[in-house]
Amino acid sequence: MNLLERFKFFFTTFHTGTVNIILHLISAIPLFVGLVVKRLSLIVGFYFIESSGHVYNYLFKFDEELRKKSKEVIPLQILLPALFVLILMILFNWF
């Protein structure tokens, strides 16, 4: 997959499924609480919960082709939430 295809897969297929969406919504709680009270452990909890939805899709929903594509977007899965959290940390005056 080229970079554009990876972004498209990441923002569409990679984020499908009820379990994945619920876990992403739940992960917002420790993220925003952690940003407000400035606790890094809560922000790490956000990453764990948020990534659990992707793991669930990988293990239980995706066929072999989608699993292969999922492996190709792992760098995006690491980079984009980190960038998102960094921007939020700046907005919440962490620095």
Where are the chain's structural domains?
3-91
Kindly state the DSSP code that residue 58 receives in the 8-state scheme.
I
pLDDT at site 7: 92
Highest mean pLDDT pick, 9-23, 27-41, 51-65: 27-41
> Does residue 95 carry a pLDDT above 90?
no
Q: What is the reported pTM?
A: 0.82
d(CA 54, CA 66): 12
pLDDT band at 31 (very low <50, low <70, confident <90, very high): very high
**Tens digit of pLDDT for each residue in 50-93?**
999 999 999 999 999 999 999 999 888 889 999 999 999 999 99
pLDDT at site 20: 92
**Interior angle at CA 36, CA 33 and CA 41, nearest 5:** 55
d(CA 76, CA 50): 13
Classify burial at 64, counting beta carbons within 10 Å of its beta carbon; exposed 0-12, middle 13-18, buried 19 or more. Answer: exposed
pLDDT band at 14 (very low <50, low <70, confident <90, very high): confident
